Amino acid sequence: MSEKDLMDQEEIYSKVLRAGRRTYFFDVRSTKAGDYYLTVTESKKFTHDDGSFHYKKHKIYLYKEDFTPFKELLNEMMDYIINEKGEEVISDRHQKDFKREDNTENVEASNSSGSFTDVSFDDI
């Protein structure tokens, strides 16, 4: 049996989430002993100046004994972010054409005048 056949045999259930330049793959796989585990793969596309591209992938393996604490911490972290920053459908910061505003001049001008009351930390 080829390596590809073994990989196909191990994959039990899959879902894909496309999110801009990132794609997330959620795969239920089987161990040699027949137990299941989850892999979460982030794949991000990078385009070179010449138009060619490549993907960078990062993978997490999650086993059943870790599901409950992982899920609890993930929910806690997501709730924290939503409570602090709100629930945005699309974040400009993660779009490929996002340009960070350069507010260095404003901060330096405020610092040179000796007054820090006009500095907004949201702008930094």
pLDDT per residue over 47-84, tens digit each? 889 989 899 999 999 999 999 999 999 999 999 999 99
pLDDT at 6 over 90: no
Query: Rounded to an integer, what distance in angstroms lies between the CA atom of residue 42 and that of residue 26?
Result: 9
Q: Average of pLDDT values for 88-105?
A: 58
Query: Rounded to an integer, what distance in angstroms lies between the CA atom of residue 41 and that of residue 44?
Result: 10
Identify which of 112, 109, 80, 114 has the alpha carbon closest to the alpha carbon of residue 123. Answer: 109
Q: Kindly indicate the confidence band of residue 97, based on its pLDDT and cuts at 50, 70 and 90.
A: low
pLDDT at 26 over 70: yes
Residue partners of 45: CB distance under 8 A and separation at least 6 = 21, 53, 54, 55
pLDDT at 113 over 90: no
Query: Rounded to an integer, what distance in angstroms lies between the CA atom of residue 15 and that of residue 41?
Result: 11
Give the predicted TM-score (pTM) of the model.
0.61
Annotate 40-92 with DSSP letters as a single string: EEEEEEEE-TTS-EEEEEEEEEEEGGGHHHHHHHHHHHHHHHHHHH---SS-G
More confident residue, 99 or 69: 69
Domain architecture of the chain: domains with CATH: 3-93 (3.10.450.700)
- State percent of the chain over pLDDT 70: 63
